[in-house]
Amino acid sequence: MRRALELARRAPFTSPNPKVGCVMVRDGRVVGEGYHEG
């Protein structure tokens, strides 16, 4: 969750949408991550 929040902070101004960060994990390993780039 901490990593997802860090990614969300990278997002530019996205109004009216919220800033979103995502980390995808499979079997305890990160397989993807990203954030809303507006």
Phi/psi at 16 (5° precision): -90, 5
Distance CA 29, CA 19 (A): 24
Contact in structure between 24 and 30 (CB atoms under 8 Å): yes
What residue spans define the domains of the chain?
Answer: 2-35
Per-residue pLDDT, 25: 98
Per-residue pLDDT, 11: 85
Contact in structure between 4 and 21 (CB atoms under 8 Å): yes
Per-residue pLDDT, 27: 99
Per-residue pLDDT, 15: 85
Q: What is the pLDDT of residues 1-38, one digit of tens each?
A: 999 999 999 988 888 989 999 999 999 999 999 999 87
